[in-house]
Amino acid sequence: MVETPPSGPSGQTRVDIGETEARGARRVGYIWILVASLAIAVVVLALMLVYFSGSLSDANRRGGPASIPKADAANFHTPPPPPAS
């Protein structure tokens, strides 16, 4: 890091950083962008789940549009009775 003497009308000191420091700062910025994106995605998905929770639970209770009563479903996998001898 190199400081140069005040220049220009504002009198501010200018700080020049090297290429290595600039790359490191850029990488840290990328990491924070990824962290923020992940946090936003989690919040959006949570809000969607909350918004649709009522309709999801209704669909789960109904069993879908082609559901059948439980009593009929119980007969699907019962073996046939053995033949009488």
Tally Cβ neighbours within 10 Å of residue 81: 6
pLDDT tens digits, one per residue of 24-33? 667 777 888 8
pLDDT value at 2 more than 70: no
At a CB cut-off of 8 Å and minimum separation 6, what does 35 contact?
none
Strand runs (DSSP E) across the chain, as ranges? 2-4, 14-16
Give domain limits for the chain.
13-57
pLDDT tens digits, one per residue of 10-20? 666 777 777 66
* Residue indicated by tokens 């992940």: 38
Of the two residues 55 and 1, the one the predictor is more confident about is 55
At a CB cut-off of 8 Å and minimum separation 6, what does 56 contact?
49
This prediction has a pTM of 0.45
